[in-house]
Structure 1
Amino acid sequence: MNHRQQTVIALLLAGLWGAALGHLNLNGGIGLLDRMEASLADIRSVIVGARTPPPVVSIVAIDDRTAATHGYPLGRATLARLVDAITGLKPKALALDILLVDPGPEEGDAALTSALGRGPSVIAAAATFAQSRQRVARADDPLAAIPEADQLLLPLPRFAEAAAVGIVNVVTDQTGTPRFIPLISRASNRLDPAFPLRVASVALGVDPSIERDAVFLGALRIPTDIGQRLPVTFYGRHGSIATFSAADAMDGRLPADAVAGRIVVIGSTVTGGGDVFPTPFDPVMPGVEVMSTAITHLVTGDGMVRDHRIRLIDAGTAVVLPLILVSLIAWRRSAAGYLIIVLTLVVWAVFNLSAFVHGYWLSAALPIAAALPPALIFGAAELWRDRRRASHFAEQSALLQRIEAPGLGEWLARDPNFLAEPVRQNAAVVFIDLSGFTGLSEKLGPAKVSEVLSGFFELIDEEARAHHGAITSFMGDGAMILFGLPQPADDDATRAVACAVRLCERTRSWLRTQAGFADKIGFKVGAHCGPIVASRLGSGERQQITAAGDTVNVGSRLMEVAASHGVELALSAEIVRAAGPDSVLLKSGRIEGPMETALRGRSSHIDAWLWRSRTL
């Protein structure tokens, strides 16, 4: 399977993964992603920072000072006095965020009933569920996704006749932070609006109407999430919404402008009262402020938009983002490629945050969950593939270095076009060949022949490397070593002569170790220097660097001269002269010459020198 096919498969799998997560998110979310999204929503809220809420809601708090003065919980008669004090200041609506499910003293209950009836008011009820969370299959019915309550905790009928009733339930995440307000509650054969929705409806003087992804309050459209839930985002820390003590209200010290024309919510903030929630801005926020925040969202329409259209955008992002990342990883794994990947993620993050700032709650967890696994898996696969390729190239390079001199291999790596065109230059050549081995190989057998030649070629390779020569070819039981590539040097002849002498000494010692046939074979070496034509021969897939010309032919024929005179090494006068008087020839042996010598296949003669070891 080639790289293009692997990339296509990776893109297909990434798209399917993103589409599967997007589909699940469209139909109610995924527990793990919801937890991730809650944390990321908190981070975005903190980045955006606190903001000033619209001045439409005031809280009258039954706080510690009120409890110290009037007791806690407040008696029904005291609560009636508080409602009367607020109603007298002409609020747009009064909401009592207190459950009144049990009867109290008749005088107090009657007083509270009368007080609630003197103005537009709403009192709280609550729903309980057999399970912490229930799901109902979606349908065209806008109420189909609303979970059904197991029981309703309703206020006393006399209170419900005097005031409207709303359900105070909230939907929290794993940390207890309120995320949504269910605007509609279902219980057996009845539907009840949420406390914030009922308060907003009474304050605006309109009845709510419900669509699949929205609740209407007159002309005001409030987008809702699955199950007719209202997303809740907080304005800041506890006290962001104007809050006043109930003690001041009953003492007549409540500012009139804090009540007149506003929605007033009465609720408990007593320390240890229990009705508190953590938020991104505050570890303890009273439930009455959570309700007041939701009321403000409904009346002003400044809440977050997270509806079916937003979830469709999330699903699309969950498909597109992993496709982009996988494509970028497949396209270029370099500093520039990684920079583009980072910039892509930054652009997405900035867009997501900008949408959040402007009131659109796009999921951050879903695209991350959709994009991260495919990108990491494909990136790891590509890294593994690159390492395999690098390992393969390293092996090939090692093989090349075993055949070519290290300097020549490095040169080819730097310049792949080296010798793409033939080059004429000066160089020195050394030839070595075993004598009598061809006939002996028929008796040794293939395994022994391979073993012997491997040892012989390893010896040649070591000496070629030591003297910075390039083995351009192994020829049967011999080899050609070239000095002068990748570039000619002044000491090419000197190194070639030194290599030739060392080959003689080492080959002689090596032959003594070959038990059984050491006396049956010998060797011969020839060395010459002059102009050559270096080039790369072969097809585009398989090429070999080689040298040709009269210099190469003379070097090869000098091996015959050595054999005919019973010596190991024959050298041309040109290479002896180029190597200079300080070469190893005189130090390591005796030389004879120059002598005029005829070469097979060549009409003109050359001057040659013969070298003998001092140990022979």
Structure 2
Amino acid sequence: MTGRHLQTLIAVALAAIWGFGIYFEHSRGGLRFLDRIDSATIDIRTLARGKRVPPDLVTIVAIDDDIVKLRGLYPLPRTDLARIVEAIARLEPKVIAVDLLLVDNGAADADEALAKSLSVRPAVIAAAAIFPEATQSISSEQDEGPLARLPAAERFLLPLKRFADHASIGVVNVATDQAGTPRSVPMLFRTADRVELSFPLRVAALAVGREPTIEPDRLTLGQRSVSTDLDHTLPITFYGPRRTIRTVSAASVLAGEISADDIRNRIVVVGATVSGGSDFFSSPFDRLMPGVEVISTAITHLLAGDGPLRDRSVRIADGIVAVLFPAILVGLLAWRRSAVGLILAAVVGLNWAAGNFLAFSSGIVMSAAVPVAAAAVPVVLFASLQLWSGRRQAQYFAARNELLEQFQAPAIQNWLARDPNFLAEPVRQNAAIVFVDLSGFTSLSEALGPDRTRDLLKEFHAIVDREAIACGGMITSFQGDGAMILFGLPAPATDDAARAAQCAVNLCNSVGLWLVSLRLTTPSNLGFKVGGHFGLIVASRLGGRSYQHITATGDTVNVASRLMEVAASHGAELAVSDELLRASGRDCALFKSGDLVGPEETRIRGRSGSLVIWLWRSTSGNRDQPA
């Protein structure tokens, strides 16, 4: 395993551990800010899902603005409430559920009428749990038994006994988030000495004619099993805005204008929706949702089994996602440390979001905040480290590249970057070769010493480098006080010979001016000579595995080198072959400046036969070129 793979493995493991820590702390009741985020995302998911048609099981009889306007006061007198219940009972509902607190005594005859009306059909009336604090925490002590997580009320606000004798009792409290939106309804409530069923559960049990069976993460109503959350709460999701559940006005009931189909064999919930009332909550669809509609939603979920699923298995799935999500994202970001990994990480994130929404639309409420919190810190931290490391590497490679530029021509560097196999096999092609060499430098260096000799060589090499780059040539090597310049790599061009001729002329001019400017204190016969030739070469890489350099070999290279001797023997600065002159064309720089003499045949040392050459001398008159 390489060091990079080990670092990636450690990063992935740390991301997974962080994700598990976030999930574990949140499951113990910590990190409450995540609940606020989850509530906001549930609202967004609910709105994106849109309105749903509820199962047609419940009818709400609303004590609304119309009935209040008709009767002229609110709360309604018990006699009016009794008449409403009697009118509903005559149409034979399955259950009458009165979502009103009947805790105060009214007129004796009115109370008696209401009690009598409640006894006609199966009925449930509301009670309320009174908590010592505005918010109620859930105990997590395991030694308190299976009821430890129930909401612990200080006392119950129960209806009057005369009403309770004729109807069942259910607690109407709901559980809201920090924004006041109901997210679930507790199915059980407890005080120090008793446990009460919730209002929706009592209504549903009465409708199916069976007492509920309560288990740690579910309850059973007759043949239906309904999943609950860990604290015996029923998660709810709203079908739509207010009045999505069938709703009729109590004024219509009193006027006899209600259809029997709205009541018969249905659950009828009587509750207040009057403007200015206190029993309102916010919802994703409405700023003010009547509490009776929240209760009716819970009743429908219990009977239809279409409520959102948020049980132990879903929470375990949240934990698995919280561990895997950051680990996968960090692993993808580390994969090749390229844009591919970043794109794949984005794809995974989008797929998770889409999967989360599809699960919600299917009734499974998975957390959105916990996986994001689990992934955010590892991903941001790892990305920051990657960015920092990338900058360090960029600086390192920039420094290396700057250093390598001093040893290899930029054009060759760029070509090798595009084609690492460039000249892996030798290539035969035409090219122009220019050699330049200082004469008399060896004897001068003995007199100057190593430091001054090195300074002179650096100045000379700088001149050669400048002129070679200006003409598009590549210096294949500096050979002490000389250099070889190649024109034709990385690819041959039609003007290689012309640029080589121009470079040779520029070298003669620049080196000559430099020699005049030296003003050496030690007597010397320092001069220079230049040779140039055009013809077939073999371009290749030479060297072993640890070091290679790009160069040219062949007769053309040897002739160009020997032409420097020819120039010196004839007292010229430059000797070029007739092949180079012809390949350069009529616009060759040799014709435009200096004295060009030739053609003439000459012998080349180490080569049979003669060669047609041309000799060139500068006409500037600013230096004395030794022979």
Q: TM-score, normalised by structure 2?
A: 0.89
Moved more, 373-382 or 64-73: 373-382
Map residues 296-445 of structure 1 onto 2, 5 A cutoff. Answer: 296-331=300-335, 340-382=344-386, 385-386=389-390, 389=393, 403-437=407-441
Q: Which residue of 1 aligns with 2:25?
A: 24
| Aligned partner of residue 617 in structure 2, secondary structure | strand
Contact 2:447 2:522 in 1 (8 A): no
| Aligned partner of residue 39 in structure 1, secondary structure | helix
Superposition deviation, residue 512 in structure 1: 4.1
**Distance change >3 Å, CA 35–CA 512, structure 1 → 2:** farther
Q: Which residue of 1 aligns with 2:248?
A: 244
Moved more, 588-597 or 606-615: 588-597
* 1:4 correspondence with 2:5: yes
Superposition deviation, residue 396 in structure 1: 5.0
| Aligned partner of residue 142 in structure 2, secondary structure | coil
**Distance change >3 Å, CA 544–CA 135, structure 1 → 2:** farther
* 1:136 correspondence with 2:139: yes
Q: Distance in 2 between matches of 1:102 and 1:437?
A: 121
Q: Which residue of 1 aligns with 2:273?
A: 269
Q: Distance in 2 between matches of 1:155 and 1:443?
A: 121
Moved more, 315-324 or 412-421: 315-324
Q: Which residue of 2 aligns with 1:102?
A: 104
Q: Distance in 2 between matches of 1:145 and 1:447?
A: 89
The AA in structure 2 aligned to 1:300 is A
* 1:152 correspondence with 2:156: yes
User: Which of 178, 185, 191 is 1:187 aligned to?
Assistant: 191
| Aligned partner of residue 5 in structure 2, secondary structure | helix
The AA in structure 2 aligned to 1:543 is Q
Stretches of structure 1 lacking an aligned partner (at least 5 in a row): none
Q: Which residue of 1 aligns with 2:179?
A: 175
Superposition deviation, residue 440 in structure 1: 5.2
Superposition deviation, residue 408 in structure 1: 3.6
Contact 1:25 1:311 in 2 (8 A): no
Q: Which residue of 1 aligns with 2:581?
A: 576
Moved more, 597-606 or 53-62: 597-606
Map residues 497-508 of structure 1 onto 2, 5 A cutoff. Answer: 497-508=501-512
The AA in structure 1 aligned to 2:9 is V
**Distance change >3 Å, CA 157–CA 425, structure 1 → 2:** same
* 1:69 correspondence with 2:70: yes
Q: Which residue of 1 aligns with 2:286?
A: 282
The Cα RMSD (Å) is 3.1
Q: Which residue of 2 aligns with 1:590?
A: 595
Map residues 432-471 of structure 1 onto 2, 5 A cutoff. Answer: 432-437=436-441, 451-471=455-475
CA-to-aligned-CA distance 1:184-239 (integer Å, 9 cap, x gap): 22323332222211221222222222222112223322111131121111111111
Superposition deviation, residue 385 in structure 1: 4.6
Q: Distance in 1 between matches of 2:172 and 2:546?
A: 78
**Distance change >3 Å, CA 222–CA 448, structure 1 → 2:** farther
Contact 2:26 2:32 in 1 (8 A): no
Q: Which residue of 2 aligns with 1:84?
A: 86
Map residues 182-261 of structure 1 onto 2, 5 A cutoff. Answer: 182-261=186-265
Superposition deviation, residue 337 in structure 1: 5.5
Contact 1:165 1:195 in 2 (8 A): yes
CA-to-aligned-CA distance 1:59-100 (integer Å, 9 cap, x gap): 111101111222101223332332233233332222221223
Q: Which residue of 2 aligns with 1:39?
A: 40
CA-to-aligned-CA distance 1:6-26 (integer Å, 9 cap, x gap): 322221122222222333344
Q: Distance in 2 between matches of 1:46 and 1:143?
A: 35
- For these two proteins, the number of residue pairs brought into alignment is 616
| Aligned partner of residue 96 in structure 1, secondary structure | strand
User: Which of 482, 494, 498 is 1:478 aligned to?
Assistant: 482
Contact 1:94 1:120 in 2 (8 A): yes
| Aligned partner of residue 489 in structure 1, secondary structure | coil
* 1:538 correspondence with 2:543: yes
| Aligned partner of residue 192 in structure 1, secondary structure | strand
Q: Which residue of 1 aligns with 2:552?
A: 547
Q: Distance in 1 between matches of 2:104 and 2:313?
A: 43
The AA in structure 2 aligned to 1:126 is A
Q: Distance in 1 between matches of 2:30 and 2:463?
A: 71
CA-to-aligned-CA distance 1:550-577 (integer Å, 9 cap, x gap): 3222322333444455443233343334
Q: Distance in 2 between matches of 1:518 and 1:219?
A: 116
The AA in structure 1 aligned to 2:207 is A
Stretches of structure 2 lacking an aligned partner (at least 5 in a row): 622-627
CA-to-aligned-CA distance 1:105-129 (integer Å, 9 cap, x gap): 4443344344334432222222324
